[in-house]
Amino acid sequence: MQKYDLVIIGGGAGGLVVASVAAQLGLNVALVEKEKKLGGDCLHFGCVPSKALLRTAHVAHLVNHAEQYGVNVSNPASNIQAINQYISRAVETIQVHDSHERFKTLGCDIYTGSAKFLDASKIQVAETELSAKRFVIATGSRPWIPPVPGLEKVPFLTNENMYSLNELPAHLVIMGAGPVGVEMAQAYIRHGSRVTLIELAERVLPRADPEMSQVLHDQLSADGVEILTGSSVETVAQQGDNIMLQLQDGQLIEGDKLLVAIGRRPAVSDLGLEAAGIEYNTQGIIVNSRMQTSRRHIYACGDVTGQMPLTHVAEQQAGVVIANAIFHLPKKMDYRVIPSVVYTEPECAQVGAMTDVAEDDPAVKVVKFGMDSLDRAIADNSTRGFIKLVVRKGRLIGAHAIGQHAGEVIHELALAIQQNMKLSKITTLVHAYPTYSQVNRRVASQYYSGSLFSPATRKLVKFINRWLP
């Protein structure tokens, strides 16, 4: 029996944040990870490789359309082996920060293998039992595979095996038009694959602002992606070297590769949560705002909680765990001010309230500014998109942006929501010209334009200039 102050199960983003801080503060820490490498899905199968792939696709697209910028490039072509090497270099560079050696240097004991609770104070890893005063579960999530007849009999792809293909797909079929689906659709179409995107909902990115979804739909269509929304896959079958999908309307789609990107489910199986008395459901481990499970000395963070499965959310939740479990400070999660970004081109970013709240609240106003009126976007030939602000009584409560660098622009607005700032604060902040961040000031000014140029204001200005020296 090995005894610790803190045992962390899962070496992804959330688990590593807790382990790093706890060890450096002098606690006796054990970190358990079932895979040989630390870093979790984000580093090896998610955020990092997907963004590296999207970068190569952006370059390919730029080269193929270089004539729009007055540049002549002859016979460009994508090399999947070189692309794989580019992705691997990015992962390996970041892996150094998430290595066993680094965390051992910090003072963590690392155990490789699957963890299982024996009771609320002990877990077993292989032949070793570990006990601790406190535990943190950060096991992440796994791809969800829908129960489509025949799907289990074909060699489909998920995010866990799609970044090491030996050749570019001739025709990639993607089930699911959420963030992963649309990103991969654009990446592969721009590298020369034919792509068909199938979505059960009536639009791509069904959880995004509807107008934002439409703009992205138009861009993907312009790139050449075949988009089938409101479509259900009824059966899947192997046909020679290809995979055949039959849709609910009888349509047949045939491709040489199939990517399943329907969604994810928390990795809770085989953890022995029942033995520890930890409550969970299909959405994940149930936690309170302090990230405590039903057993208050056991915490959970990251995708395993089912709450906004994003890497930066896992890191923020880890900070809440640290405050409560280590410093005994009553810190709570606030999901109201967490931005989310889809890294297509144009990028889609949002934070806070959705635009439809204005339908039920007369105090809420939505203002919009088009990227085609932003000087930097015009200079870059990147004018597709817009930004919307959701404002209640002069204070920002939500923001939705689609456009070049929308994922960078959104953070100023997230801060404004977090600090409950008046929108006028943004209009008085000087933004460098010409930048994409200027769009925040431009759209904020739209909110005040009605009152600024109203008849009453015009009369006041006329009076001031006629009668005052």
| CATH of residue 296 | 3.50.50.60
Phi/psi-derived region of residue 189, left when phi > 0, alpha when psi is between -120 and 50, beta in every other case? alpha
The secondary structure of residue 70, as a DSSP letter, is: T
From the list 84, 57, 277, 44, the residue with the least C-alpha distance to 186 is 57
Residue 97: which residues within 8 A CB-CB, separation 6 or more? none
Nearest to 42 by CA among 32, 57, 34, 52: 52
90 in a structural domain: no
> Are 447 and 432 part of one and the same domain?
yes
Instruction: Give the domain-ending residue among 236, 262, 288.
Output: 262
Q: Are residues 129 and 31 in the same domain?
A: yes
Nearest to 386 by CA among 397, 398, 401, 366: 401
Residues 292 and 380 grouped into a single domain:
no
Q: Quick one: 25 and 127 in the same domain?
A: yes
Do 326 and 349 fall into the same domain? no
CA distance 392 to 364: 4
Whether residue 91 lies inside any domain: the answer is no
Do residues 211 and 358 both lie within one domain?
A: no
pTM, 2 dp = 0.93
CATH number for the domain including 342? 3.30.390.30
pLDDT at 126: 93
Pair (400, 347) in one structural domain = yes
Same domain, 136 and 24: yes
Query: Does residue 241 lie within any of the structural domains?
Result: yes
Q: Where are the beta strands (DSSP E) in 95-201?
A: 108-112, 115-119, 122-125, 128-137, 141-143, 171-175, 194-199
Question: Vertex 315, ends 128 and 312: CA angle to 5°?
Answer: 135
Of 312, 333, 354, the residue at which a domain comes to its end is 333
- Please list, in sequence order, all residues whose beta carbon lies within 8 angstroms of the beta carbon of residue 69, skipping any fewer than 6 positions away: 381
Same domain, 250 and 129: no
Whether 372 and 442 share a structural domain:
yes
Calpha distance 221→206 (Å, rounded): 17
Residue 68 lies in a domain: no
> Is residue 220 in a domain?
yes
Q: Which residues pair with 54 in a beta bridge?
A: none
The letter for the amino acid at 48 is: V
Kindly state whether residue 242 falls inside one of the protein's structural domains.
yes
Q: Is the same domain home to 236 and 271?
A: no
171 in the same domain as 107: no
Q: Are strands 29-33 and 2-9 parallel, antiparallel or unpaired?
A: parallel
Mean pLDDT of the chain: 95
* Domain assignment of residue 216, given as a range: 151-262
Number of domains in the chain: 3
In tens, the pLDDT along 9-43 reads: 999 999 999 999 999 999 999 999 999 999 998 99
Q: What phi and psi, each to the nearest 5 degrees, are found at residue 444?
A: -65, -35
Last residue of a domain, one of 311, 333, 355: 333
Is residue 399 assigned to a domain?
Answer: yes
Q: pLDDT digits over 405-453, tens only?
A: 999 999 999 999 999 999 999 999 999 999 999 999 999 999 987 766 6
Residue of 265, 268, 187 lying closest to 225 (CA atoms): 187
How do the residues of the chain divide into helix, strand and coil, expressed in percent and rounded to 5? 40, 25, 35
Per-residue pLDDT tens listing for the chain (469 residues):
899 999 999 999 999 999 999 999 999 999 999 999 999 989 999 999 999 999 999 999 999 999 999 998 888 899 999 999 999 999 999 999 999 999 999 999 999 999 999 999 999 999 999 999 999 999 999 999 999 999 999 999 999 899 889 999 999 999 999 999 999 999 999 999 999 999 999 999 999 999 999 999 999 999 999 999 999 999 999 999 999 999 999 999 999 999 999 999 999 999 999 999 999 999 999 999 999 999 999 999 999 999 999 999 999 999 999 999 999 999 999 998 999 999 999 999 999 999 999 999 999 999 999 999 999 999 999 999 999 999 999 999 999 999 999 999 999 999 999 999 999 999 999 999 999 999 999 999 999 877 666 787 777 778 788 777 7
Would you state the pLDDT for residue 465?
84
DSSP state of 157: B
- Domain assignment of residue 75, yes or no: no
What's the confidence (pLDDT) of residue 1?
84
Question: What pLDDT is recorded for position 451?
Answer: 67
pLDDT score for 364:
96
